Amino acid sequence: MSLPSPIPPHPSTWRLSRRSLLGLLAATGAAAGLGASWGLGALAQSKPEPVQLTLVSYAVAKAAYSKLIPEFQKEWKAKTGQTVTFKESYGASASQTRSILGGLEADVLAQNLSTFITPLVEKGLVSSSWERRLPNNAVPVTTVMAVVVRQGNPKKVTTWADLARPGVESVSLNPKTSGNARWGFLAGYGSVLKDKGDAAAKTYLFGLVKNIKSQVNSGREATDAFVKNRVGDVLVTFENEIIVTNDAIPKDFPYVVPSSNLKVEFPVTVIDKVVDKRGTRQVAEAFTRFLYSPKAQEIFAEAGYRPSDRQVLRRYSNQFRLVRQLRTAADFGGWNAVNQKLFNDGALFEQAQKAAR
């Protein structure tokens, strides 16, 4: 006995099923398009692979970046689902640039002097447009120079000129390795230069160099020598360095911020050749942009930096000393002119060192 033939579906039922199928396909396509428009196509298809960034920085920035990095990791994970880990290197600023030139694959470089980025541009590691990629010429925060003194200020140091008086011994940073040193020497030399002229500025510099008790390579080494090892009567360093140091010790070290001072800039950039080679440009650039966010600016302020965000700066203004005359490196012809005058081989700083021997 043959089995009865199956009853064919009613045409209306078939048409309904086809319309449902077409609707489902259309909805699926629309969702895919929406995901693409949000830039989430790849993330929707698979969980993003973890990524590692290498941050290379000048020494005293560790206090800030040790708090900035976890905050960025948390925000990036929430936005993208991607885990970011960091390798960090802190050291004398010029030495850090030399390390990158020597093959250290840094994704992000935080510097304390723009001319320490210039050699990386010349070698094709960083784009010549790096200063235009971020606000304020790629400078998220600034500071000024401070003179740290002993309790009670026994040497009565109040101005730059006091540092050149006989008997005022200083811990000095090496300007061949440290941007902190170059800012410090220029701050005093430049102030005397503007007020009293070339001859007085040269006399000041020679007196200052003669008073050097100990010379070290980085800002953190200088702080340790002065604070922990009690070397010298004074230490010239970044204002943010002494603010964060005083926050970490039981009894504050007194310090003077001379009223004639310099606006110290801390530029940041991705290392283009490295991020393109490693495929880390997206997250590396996101990290540099994060440094301008209100949250990051507040973390910088807590570490003693002067924020570029005006609202954050107002909230933390009480921790910063007033400066009557705030100059920039441009007031002295820019860093190329300053280096030629003061820090290049055979320039005034080396002349002063030879005279002091």
| Domain of residue 87, CATH code | 3.40.190.10
Q: Cβ contacts of residue 282 below 8 Å, gap of 6+?
A: none
Residue 293 and residue 349 in one domain? no
Residue 245 and residue 173 in one domain? yes
- Is 302 inside a domain boundary? yes
Q: What is the pLDDT of residue 79?
A: 97
Q: What is the pLDDT of residue 357?
A: 86
Q: Over the Cα atoms of the chain, what is R_g?
A: 28
Q: What is the pLDDT of residue 47?
A: 82
Counted domains in the chain: 2
Q: What is the pLDDT of residue 3?
A: 37
Residue 235 and residue 172 in one domain? yes
- Is 28 inside a domain boundary? no
Residue 73 and residue 131 in one domain? yes
DSSP 8-state code for residue 303: T
- Is 14 inside a domain boundary? no
Residue 135 and residue 278 in one domain? yes
Residue 208 and residue 158 in one domain? yes
Give me the domain span that covers residue 175: 145-262+324-356
Residue 159 and residue 272 in one domain? no
Q: Cβ contacts of residue 173 below 8 Å, gap of 6+?
A: 180, 181, 184, 215, 216, 217, 218, 219, 221, 222, 236, 237
- Is 17 inside a domain boundary? no
Given a cut of 50, the residues of the chain with pLDDT beneath it are 1-44
For residue range 271-303, what is the model confidence (pLDDT) as tens digits?
A: 999 999 999 999 999 999 999 999 999 999 999
- Is 300 inside a domain boundary? yes
In angstroms, the Cα distances linking 233 to 28, 70, 149, 162, 221 are 73, 37, 6, 12, 16
In angstroms, the Cα distances linking 264 to 111, 307, 326 are 11, 12, 10
- Enumerate long-range contacts of 118-125, CB under 8 Å, 24 or more apart: 120/271, 124/273, 125/100, 125/101, 125/271, 125/272, 125/273, 125/274
Residue 218 and residue 330 in one domain? yes
Q: What is the pLDDT of residue 334?
A: 97
Distance CA 85, CA 343 (A): 38
Structure tokens given for 305: 């930096």
Instruction: Determine phi and psi for 135, rounding to 5 degrees.
Output: -60, 155
Q: What is the pLDDT of residue 45?
A: 52
Q: What is the pLDDT of residue 46?
A: 72
Residue 202 and residue 344 in one domain? yes
- Is 239 inside a domain boundary? yes
Distance CA 129, CA 311 (A): 28
- Is 23 inside a domain boundary? no
Residue 136 and residue 55 in one domain? yes
- Is 27 inside a domain boundary? no
Residue 70 and residue 149 in one domain? no
Residue 236 and residue 337 in one domain? yes
**316 close to 307: Cβ distance less than 8 angstroms:** yes
Q: What is the pLDDT of residue 31?
A: 38
